[in-house]
Structure 1
């Protein structure tokens, strides 16, 4: 206790005029300052990637289409995941999901066409 004492153990860090970020050593509830949008996060590879990003303290934005239950299994992986409903055919919806992120990862891809999406729509248009 005194002027200039650095032994408070505070985890608040400021850098220039940027926002105040809470930093940590990694693990649950540690925040690295990275905000990542992960398209395809509800798939096989995506669930493991989201888990690793959350362990690093990354806030993960998980865009999904369909029902709200499709992201239920990701909620157990940490409190840093934010599910966001979007329409992949609506460019404004895709831009809104990516607007807050400083990292975008695309894991969406198909080797074959489906009833709802052609090969070109999934692999090139998105």
Structure 2
């Protein structure tokens, strides 16, 4: 709508033989043709990223491991069916593959400042990020990793 309508369109090139199907003016009710899986979307940065992706017309897959109510606030950030919660198990590689098989782009926001009862600091910030990267390489999916993981790996 109006001036700057193209600001919300994505220039991302994704896998596939043909061009991405785009429909609309680039706003919330548009379809950009990109399907992004955002791991860690229920965290602080995730909610803002989901909102911006939905604003561009991207379908956002939100993998979660807790109860289904943990993603309820994210569904409001897009049109009906645009933000899709998907249950997954972070220790099961097949669970990662099931989510990533539907996506063109994978974004990792999984991270903690401290270990928990179920997952150690190393397992969350290094192990899960490494597992996501390996699966995305195997499935030939575009992968975006957090800066924390890159810095963390360089100092190992």
Common fold: TM-score over 0.5: yes
> What SS does the aligned partner of 1:70 have?
helix
Higher strand fraction: Structure 1 or Structure 2?
1
> What SS does the aligned partner of 2:7 have?
coil
User: What is the number of residues matched between the two proteins?
Assistant: 124
2:91 maps to 1:121: no
RMSD of aligned alpha carbons: 7.1
> What SS does the aligned partner of 2:107 have?
strand
Q: Cα distance, 1:100 vs. partner? A: 1.1
Q: Cα distance, 1:26 vs. partner? A: 1.7
Higher helix fraction: Structure 1 or Structure 2?
2
Q: Cα distance, 1:91 vs. partner? A: 0.5
Q: Cα distance, 1:66 vs. partner? A: 1.1
Partners of 2:123 and 2:51 lie apart in 1 by: 28
Partners of 1:6 and 1:106 lie apart in 2 by: 26
Cα pair distance change 1:120/1:80, threshold 3 Å: farther
Q: Cα distance, 1:28 vs. partner? A: 2.0
- Which residue number corresponds to residue 43 of structure 1? 43
Cα pair distance change 1:42/1:11, threshold 3 Å: closer
> Which 4+ residue blocks in structure 1 deviate beyond 6 angstroms?
1-17
- 1:32-73 Cα shifts (integer Å, max 9, x gaps): 011100001111110000000000011100000110100000
- Is contact 1:40-1:108 (8 Å) kept? yes
**Structure 1: 5+ residue stretches without partners:** none
- Is contact 1:38-1:60 (8 Å) kept? yes
- 1:57-115 Cα shifts (integer Å, max 9, x gaps): 11100000110100000111012661000000111001111111111000001121111
Q: Cα distance, 1:13 vs. partner? A: 16
Larger radius of gyration: 1
